Amino acid sequence: MTVDDWLARFESALKARDADAVAALFAPDSYWRDLVAFTWNVKTVEGRDGVTDLVKSCDPGASGFRTTEPPAEADGVTEAWIEFETALGRGKGHLRLTGEGAWTLLTTLEELKGFEEPQRERRPVYVEEEIARDPFVVVIGGGQGGIALGARLRQLGVPAVVLERHDRAGDSWRKRYKTLTLHDPVWYDHLPYLPFPDHWPVFSPKDKIADWLEMYTRVMEIPYWTRSEVTSISYDDGWTVTVDRDGETVLLHPRHVVFATGMAGKPNVPTFPGADEFEGEQHHSSQHPGPDAYAGRKVVVIGANNSAHDISAALVEHGADVTMVQRSSTHVIKSETLMDLGLGDLYSERALAAGVTTERADTLFASLPHRVLPGLQLPVQQQVRERDAEFYERLAGAGFEVDWGDDGSGLVLKYLRRGSGYYIDVGASELVVNGSIKLARGHVARLTANAVVLDDGRELEADLVVYATGYGSMTGFVADLGGEEMAARVGKVWGLGSDTYLDPGPWEGEQRNMWKPTQQPGLWFHGGNLAQSRYFSRYLALQLKARFEGLPTPVHGLQEVHHRS
């Protein structure tokens, strides 16, 4: 069956509301991932039964399915880029077709009819003065997630305000430890509408990112309140959001509230016995000011993730005596290897030269359902291990325990499942290997007045203890501002339900509660890294725009509530 034949049969069966006929067009082992177009949700259904259920539940009036370029065939799989329309909007997607039928189908809503963004031929002739209105959406958090969503909402004409507790846009980056840099490459990290310039460094330092975000909020004319901290939220057929705006209490009454606080929640600060007796300084990595004040001091960094390595390396370079405590195994990948084998086919100069734009790369990655990613990543990880075998041997020789994920699938799945326990090496691993960063394996039993004591009795003298111990769930912020009952109504945030470490089941197939409706009416979550903030901000903004305009948005497959983490 050709792609054109498949699309024609697919459209005909959809119009006839023949769910069984639609399902028969899919392979027995198949996946349909929909981003808002059919389900008004971020949803993946699996197998023919999942397809049947989706079609019976959803009737978006989809039609006009067509390819946008000639399909390509390799290894028995034909790939096609498609577009289509629904009753309310226009969509794009991607299809992988085998002899058994569709293996993967991605459908995405790209714009709403009659509410298109004012771009290109629709650009305004003059700059019109913005009329102040009560916000329909309040976005809590003014980092890259809130900024990307604020830009999308601004372009769609949705009254919104982005609240940032710091003094300036970008301060969530600017006020972190001074050696912080992005560990993923520039091609992966563009924000909507304004990509980084061609001369931008591959790995951006935090202050450069902070300045870019500050500029971006002004150029994109995002309604952005600094020195604005939310102190409480409550819901009664609409929200009341109480804001401390530079000392003044302001009440906002939006219809929707979006938590855009990254992919994590409040810092995890362990409460070890004796911590109140420790006479030195101790703080979480998120509060670490940098290495300058600690030359000649003894520092114990608890944790072995990205922050732990970055902080340890900077402290060593400034003359501190540093011991990093590795409590559990850590996935490590060299940054150049990640760029070459991990991201290079999608996000790199090589990819751009082959015609893989950022938009195309985003769609290709989104077209791969989470269920199939482990199988696709396993051969990549084998290449990584073979390519950098000597590197991993030297790490092991230094006593550092490397893991490859619960199923050997490596960084991508480790991040998607819970986002902890990995380091993208930009130089600190060499300092571990040569002993410049001392390594201690084990768990912390207690603190004394001047030392960290491990569970085997070893004492690590310390003037400073840095807790590079990660972050809790985003629902921690919901509990703080809206109460435990509201947080329990939402349930878990982030993780796929993969039944791996820190990501218990049941299987969800998408990031829990991210970028989609939740069980708490009018409450949304947005965030992740820069790439996720860029990509998913479109689909969250379209959902909010549809509700602002009063369009019907029947949600298929609203996530069930599981106990929050």
pLDDT at 165 over 80: yes
pLDDT single digits (tens) 21-55: 999 999 999 999 999 999 999 999 999 999 999 99
pLDDT single digits (tens) 413-460: 666 666 557 888 989 999 999 999 999 999 999 999 999 999 999 999
pLDDT single digits (tens) 116-147: 999 888 988 876 665 557 899 999 999 999 99
Looking at residue 473, what is its pLDDT? 81
Looking at residue 561, what is its pLDDT? 81
Looking at residue 159, what is its pLDDT? 97
Looking at residue 474, what is its pLDDT? 86
Cα–Cα distance measured from residue 189 to residue 191, given in angstroms and rounded to the nearest whole number: 7
Mean pLDDT of the region 253-278: 90
Is residue 199 within 8 Å of 175, Cβ to Cβ? no
More confident: 38 or 563:
38
Checking phi first, is residue 432 left (phi over 0); if not, alpha (psi -120 to 50) or beta? alpha
Looking at residue 503, what is its pLDDT? 82
Is residue 540 within 8 Å of 552, Cβ to Cβ? no
Cα–Cα distance measured from residue 140 to residue 233, given in angstroms and rounded to the nearest whole number: 11
Q: Above pLDDT 70, what percent of the chain?
A: 95
Q: Which of 320, 425, 340, 332 is nearest to 380 (CA)?
A: 340
In which order are the strands placed within the sheet that holds 137-140? 224-225, 160-163, 137-140, 256-259, 523-525
Looking at residue 404, what is its pLDDT? 82
Looking at residue 417, what is its pLDDT? 61
Looking at residue 181, what is its pLDDT? 83
State which amino acid sits at residue 448.
T
DSSP string, 538-554: HHHHHHHHHHHTT---P
Looking at residue 410, what is its pLDDT? 63
Map out the domains of the chain as residue ranges: 3-112, 133-266+472-548, 331-420
pLDDT single digits (tens) 484-520: 999 999 998 988 888 877 788 899 999 999 999 999 9
pLDDT single digits (tens) 54-74: 999 999 999 999 999 999 999
Count Cβ atoms below 10 Å from residue 207 Cβ, excluding itself: 15
Number of H helices, E strands in the chain: 17, 25
Looking at residue 343, what is its pLDDT? 83
Looking at residue 225, what is its pLDDT? 97
Cα–Cα distance measured from residue 262 to residue 281, given in angstroms and rounded to the nearest whole number: 27
Q: Please name the CATH architecture into which domain 3-112 falls.
A: Roll (3.10)
Same fold yes or no, 3-112 and 133-266+472-548: no
Long-range contacts made by residues 373-377, C-beta under 8 angstroms, separation at least 24? 373/409, 373/412, 373/413, 373/416, 374/407, 374/409, 374/413, 377/409, 377/410, 377/412, 377/413
Looking at residue 239, what is its pLDDT? 98
For 275-387, where are the alpha helices, taking DSSP H only?
306-317, 335-337, 349-353, 358-366, 373-387
Chain position carrying tokens 């939402």: 490
Torsion of CA 428, 202, 204, 161, to 10 degrees: -130
Q: Which tokens sit at 259?
A: 């938590």
pLDDT single digits (tens) 516-559: 999 999 999 998 899 999 999 999 999 999 999 999 999 999 98
Helix, strand, coil content of the chain in percent (nearest 5): 35, 25, 40
Cα–Cα distance measured from residue 510 to residue 495, given in angstroms and rounded to the nearest whole number: 8
Is the pTM of the predicted complex or chain greater than 0.85?
A: yes
Mean pLDDT of the region 225-235: 97
Cα–Cα distance measured from residue 70 to residue 108, given in angstroms and rounded to the nearest whole number: 20
Which residues, listed in sequence order, are joined to residue 89 by a DSSP beta bridge? 112
DSSP string, 249-262: EEEE--SEEEE-ST
Query: Please, what sign has the CA dihedral across residues 415, 420, 422, 424?
Result: positive
Looking at residue 401, what is its pLDDT? 94
Cα–Cα distance measured from residue 225 to residue 236, given in angstroms and rounded to the nearest whole number: 25
**The CATH number of domain 133-266+472-548, selected from 3.40.50.2300, 3.50.40.10, 3.50.50.60, 3.30.70.360:** 3.50.50.60
Looking at residue 177, what is its pLDDT? 75
Mean pLDDT of the chain, nearest integer: 92
Q: pLDDT grade, residue 411 (50/70/90)? A: low
Q: pLDDT grade, residue 470 (50/70/90)? A: confident
Q: Report the SS3 class of residue 212.
A: helix
Looking at residue 374, what is its pLDDT? 84
